[in-house]
Amino acid sequence: MHLAQALTLYSYAQTIHIMFCALSAFSNDTLPVEWWMPDDLKKLMEAAKKVATTKADAEEQRRSFAYGNAKIENEFVTRELVDRQAEKLKK
Protein backbone atom coordinates (compact mmCIF):
# COMPACT_ATOMS: atom_id res chain seq x y z
CA MET A 1 0.00 0.00 0.00
CA HIS A 2 1.36 3.42 -0.90
CA LEU A 3 1.56 6.14 1.73
CA ALA A 4 -1.00 8.33 -0.02
CA GLN A 5 -3.47 5.44 -0.06
CA ALA A 6 -2.80 4.67 3.59
CA LEU A 7 -3.27 8.31 4.60
CA THR A 8 -6.51 8.47 2.62
CA LEU A 9 -7.75 5.27 4.21
CA TYR A 10 -6.72 6.45 7.66
CA SER A 11 -8.52 9.77 7.17
CA TYR A 12 -11.59 7.91 5.92
CA ALA A 13 -11.46 5.56 8.91
CA GLN A 14 -11.15 8.47 11.33
CA THR A 15 -14.12 10.22 9.71
CA ILE A 16 -16.25 7.10 9.96
CA HIS A 17 -15.18 6.62 13.58
CA ILE A 18 -16.16 10.21 14.43
CA MET A 19 -19.55 9.65 12.81
CA PHE A 20 -20.05 6.48 14.88
CA CYS A 21 -19.09 8.41 18.04
CA ALA A 22 -21.57 11.14 17.19
CA LEU A 23 -24.30 8.59 16.58
CA SER A 24 -23.57 6.88 19.87
CA ALA A 25 -24.00 10.19 21.69
CA PHE A 26 -27.61 10.24 20.50
CA SER A 27 -28.33 6.60 21.27
CA ASN A 28 -29.25 4.95 24.53
CA ASP A 29 -26.34 2.53 24.18
CA THR A 30 -23.96 2.55 27.09
CA LEU A 31 -21.38 0.43 25.28
CA PRO A 32 -18.17 2.10 24.04
CA VAL A 33 -18.26 2.82 20.32
CA GLU A 34 -15.34 0.42 19.73
CA TRP A 35 -17.56 -2.47 20.82
CA TRP A 36 -20.03 -1.94 18.02
CA MET A 37 -17.70 -0.48 15.39
CA PRO A 38 -17.67 -2.63 12.23
CA ASP A 39 -14.76 -5.09 12.11
CA ASP A 40 -13.65 -3.80 8.71
CA LEU A 41 -13.26 -0.32 10.16
CA LYS A 42 -11.31 -1.64 13.16
CA LYS A 43 -8.92 -3.51 10.83
CA LEU A 44 -8.51 -0.47 8.59
CA MET A 45 -7.66 1.80 11.52
CA GLU A 46 -5.15 -0.67 12.92
CA ALA A 47 -3.46 -1.10 9.52
CA ALA A 48 -3.24 2.67 9.01
CA LYS A 49 -1.58 3.14 12.41
CA LYS A 50 1.36 1.01 11.26
CA VAL A 51 2.23 3.18 8.27
CA ALA A 52 5.48 5.04 8.87
CA THR A 53 5.79 8.55 7.48
CA THR A 54 8.91 10.40 6.43
CA LYS A 55 9.61 14.09 6.96
CA ALA A 56 8.81 14.67 3.28
CA ASP A 57 5.46 12.88 3.66
CA ALA A 58 4.63 14.96 6.74
CA GLU A 59 5.53 18.17 4.91
CA GLU A 60 3.35 17.19 1.94
CA GLN A 61 0.46 16.44 4.29
CA ARG A 62 0.98 19.75 6.14
CA ARG A 63 0.89 21.72 2.90
CA SER A 64 -2.18 19.86 1.71
CA PHE A 65 -3.92 20.62 5.00
CA ALA A 66 -2.93 24.30 4.76
CA TYR A 67 -4.16 24.51 1.17
CA GLY A 68 -7.47 22.83 1.93
CA ASN A 69 -8.24 25.07 4.87
CA ALA A 70 -7.12 28.27 3.15
CA LYS A 71 -9.06 27.44 -0.03
CA ILE A 72 -12.29 27.29 1.98
CA GLU A 73 -11.78 30.89 3.07
CA ASN A 74 -10.28 32.29 -0.13
CA GLU A 75 -10.99 30.89 -3.58
CA PHE A 76 -7.86 32.54 -4.98
CA VAL A 77 -5.48 30.41 -2.89
CA THR A 78 -3.50 27.96 -5.03
CA ARG A 79 -1.22 25.07 -4.21
CA GLU A 80 1.64 27.04 -5.73
CA LEU A 81 0.97 29.91 -3.32
CA VAL A 82 1.01 27.53 -0.36
CA ASP A 83 4.24 25.95 -1.62
CA ARG A 84 5.92 29.36 -2.02
CA GLN A 85 4.94 30.40 1.49
CA ALA A 86 6.09 27.07 2.95
CA GLU A 87 9.48 27.49 1.27
CA LYS A 88 9.78 31.01 2.70
CA LEU A 89 9.06 29.67 6.19
CA LYS A 90 11.89 27.13 5.84
CA LYS A 91 14.50 29.89 5.47
Cα separation values, 73 from 23, 53, 70, Å: 29, 29, 5
- Range 6-13 average pLDDT: 67
Q: Which residue has the higher pLDDT, 46 or 25?
A: 46
Residue type, 45: M
Q: What is the mean pLDDT of the chain?
A: 76
Distance between CA atoms of 30 and 25, rounded to whole angstroms? 9
Q: Quote the distance between the C-alpha of residue 65 and its chain's center.
A: 9
pLDDT of residue 38: 75
Give pLDDT tens digits for 40-50. 777 877 887 78
Q: How confident is the model at residue 33 (pLDDT cuts 50, 70, 90)?
A: low
Residue 34 has pLDDT above 60, yes or no: no
